[in-house]
A and B are shown apart, each in its own frame.
Chain A
Amino acid sequence: QKEVEQNSGPLSVPEGAIASLNCTYSDRGSQSFFWYRQYSGKSPELIMSIYSNGDKEDGRFTAQLNKASQYVSLLIRDSQPSDSATYLCAVNESGGGADGLTFGKGTHLIIQP
């Protein structure tokens, strides 16, 4: 049973601070990792993909991957109230086909003005 674990939160962060969201996964052979953002009542939206160990930066977002520790994180710098949402971690299994994506249950992030 493949598992993707996230702290459900809510995680409360003051505006302008760094928000750190964490995710662990059980399938050691996982190859690709994704972060989706979901506003309340809306559909998930892909914000970051990461495939190799290390950091990947895109604007205020940085994804960090450590395959040895089976850990992936998302950092949001200079947090804004508009970043308040649920963030879903998703992991694709090794050699996974179209059904290979497993989602975590999400972390609810609240940015306090």
Chain B
Amino acid sequence: NAGVTQTPKFQVLKTGQSMTLQCAQDMNHNSMYWYRQDPGMGLRLIYYSASEGTTDKGEVPNGYNVSRLNKREFSLRLESAAPSQTSVYFCAISAGANTGELFFGEGSRLTVL
């Protein structure tokens, strides 16, 4: 997963705390995505950025905000964490020509107590 770097890898928060998950890519791809993966639920899209300067909501955007800082970086912010946001978060990228061919980062495991 050298092309997509996520930080932090693990995080424990208390309810109501805020935090930002960082994602950076070195593959010069246009499109970036944030997914969450929960047992029995599969991968669900939170937010995406089709290109630098644009962001859009996915299937489960509530409780999250994003920033596409530049072409390389796409961050996901939890303003007031809730236990329901306990999950594994994946950043993914695609060249944009075919949005189904995604390259994933290693993931960030978040626990909200």
A residues near B (Cβ < 8 Å) are 32-34, 36, 42-46, 49, 88, 90-92, 96-101, 103-106
Known: A42-B106, A92-B99. A98 touches B42 (CB 8 A): no
Q: How far is the CA of A105 from the CA of B42 in the complex (A)?
A: 4
Known: A46-B103, A98-B56, A103-B44. 6 other contacts (CB 8 A): A43-B104, A46-B102, A49-B100, A49-B101, A98-B50, A98-B94
Q: How far is the CA of A32 from the CA of B98 in the complex (A)?
A: 9
Q: How many residues of B contact A (CB 8 A)?
A: 28
Q: Is B112 an interface residue (CB 8 A)?
A: no
Known: A43-B106, A97-B50, A98-B48. A88 touches B42 (CB 8 A): yes
Q: Which of B1, B45, B50 has the most CB of A within 10 A?
A: B45
Q: How far is the CA of A46 from the CA of B102 in the complex (A)?
A: 7
A99–B98 contact, CB under 8 A?
no
Nearest CB of chain B from residue A87's CB, rounded to whole Å: 12
What A residues does B41 contact at CB under 8 A?
105
- Give the dominant DSSP class at A's interface: strand
What B residues does A34 contact at CB under 8 A?
100-101
What B residues does A99 contact at CB under 8 A?
45, 48, 56, 58-59
Nearest CB of chain B from residue A91's CB, rounded to whole Å: 8
State which of A44, A92, A98, A100 has its C-beta within 8 Å of the C-beta of B90: A44
Q: Is B33 an interface residue (CB 8 A)?
A: yes
